[in-house]
Amino acid sequence: MTTFRAPQAVAGSRILGLGSYQPETVVSNHDLAQRMDTSDEWIRERVGIVNRRVAAKDEGVVDMSVIAGTKAIEDAGLTPADIGGVIVATCTMPSTIPNAAAQVATRIGIQAAAAFDLNAACAGFCYAVATAADIVRGGSVRNFLVIGAEKLTDWTHQDDRSTAIIFADGAGAVVVGAGDTNEIGPVAWGSDGSMSEVIRIDDRDSFIHQEGQAVFRWATTQVAPVAIRAAELAGVELSDVDVFAPHQANLRIIEAIAKRLRKNGAREDLKVARDIVESGNTSSASIPMALDHMRSAGEISSGDVVLMVGFGAGLSYAGQVVRCP
């Protein structure tokens, strides 16, 4: 019987570059308190957000992805000609076809890219990194551009104080490329569709509905074990982790998970991403954006061991250990 050639697998995959983009308009808690029944104090205390960014009317997921993606390619020291594939993790495109990735590839100048969108909501970026890392290791693509981008304000009812204070817009990107050593650990991932009701958009005329407390309880109890498992799968002790970059859902959730990691061996000086304070909750964009901001601020450096974990609608979750480029 004839068997078929397999692509030439490579030794490992790694993150080669990082970039992000935030829209210009800043909306503060005070701005929101002018138009709905909320307060700066409530939002800071319950969610930890102070400011968030909101995209312009004519600025979409594709526009933001192009800017973040271009920066990540430059940061990797590559050109668009070096990129073979594009994944856009997003759940907020205005329509389902065409996808974002093919448009992003063409606008960046990447020819004939393998291009697809991936929807795992707030876990989307980690799902996409896992997918790209495996494709690169398998040998089908040498360099993959992985973007998390959301225009959540399009899908958030601006009078709904339970969601309008949280969700924001932005994009973050990485280049996942082939390496002689492996610097992206195996993914710990999964889902629980029995809780799909708790974050949903019912149809194209609806807005995000979130049962905040149910999601909060799930996130504060179920996500830390995923992060711990990701470290185990990578063969990394929690004490070796320099940076914890969880999805920026709520500062109280972030602190609760970080506390649990420290109880399980993570260092007291573990750097924890708190980008939500100035950026809000940007779903699949939140992790790469947080990392890019932390690196620009000099809080993390090249070579740092980063533990990422995404979680949200689905319910879906995914985490892995990566080395900071």
Give yes or no: 293 in active site: no
The answer to the question of residue 38 lying near ligand UT7 (CB under 6 A) is yes
Taking CB under 6 A as the criterion, the residue among 89, 215, 257, 294 binding ligand UT7 is 215
Residue span binding ligand UT7 (CB under 6 A) among the ranges 11-19, 161-169, 255-263, 316-324:
161-169
Which residue reads 């601020």 in tokens? 297
Q: Which is nearer to ligand UT7, 161 or 200 (CB)?
A: 161
The answer to the question of residue 219 lying near ligand UT7 (CB under 6 A) is yes
The whole-angstrom separation of Cα 156 and Cα 151 is: 9
Candidates 29, 91, 122, 293; catalytic one: 122
**Measured from the CB of residue 283, what is the shortest distance to ligand UT7 in angstroms?**
6
8 A C-beta contact, residue 89 and residue 128: yes
What angle separates helix 61-75 from helix 100-108, to the nearest 10 degrees?
Answer: 50
Return the residues of window 50-109 that contact ligand UT7 according to CB under 6 A.
Answer: none
Our CA dihedral for 303, 293, 265, 185, rounded to 10 degrees, sits at -50
Return the residues of window 257-316 that contact ligand UT7 according to CB under 6 A.
Answer: 281, 283, 312
- Residue 186 φ/ψ, nearest 5 degrees: -60, 150
The whole-angstrom separation of Cα 110 and Cα 86 is: 9
Residue 151's DSSP bridge partners are: 169
The answer to the question of residue 153 lying near ligand UT7 (CB under 6 A) is no
Q: What is the largest CA-CA distance in the chain?
A: 72
**Measured from the CB of residue 39, what is the shortest distance to ligand UT7 in angstroms?**
6
Candidates 29, 99, 281, 293; catalytic one: 281
Q: Which is nearer to ligand UT7, 186 or 212 (CB)?
A: 212
The whole-angstrom separation of Cα 56 and Cα 299 is: 30
- Kindly list the distances between the CA atom of residue 285 and the CA atoms of 68, 174, 315, in Å, as whole numbers in the listed order: 10, 11, 17
8 A C-beta contact, residue 30 and residue 259: no
- Residue 109 φ/ψ, nearest 5 degrees: 100, 20
Give yes or no: 126 in active site: no
Taking CB under 6 A as the criterion, the residue among 10, 25, 42, 44 binding ligand UT7 is 42
The answer to the question of residue 25 lying near ligand UT7 (CB under 6 A) is no
The answer to the question of residue 200 lying near ligand UT7 (CB under 6 A) is no
Residue 170's DSSP bridge partners are: 150
The answer to the question of residue 222 lying near ligand UT7 (CB under 6 A) is no
**Measured from the CB of residue 212, what is the shortest distance to ligand UT7 in angstroms?**
3
**Residue ranges binding ligand UT7 (CB under 6 A):** 38, 42, 46-47, 122, 161-162, 165-166, 212-213, 215-216, 219, 249-250, 253, 281, 283, 312
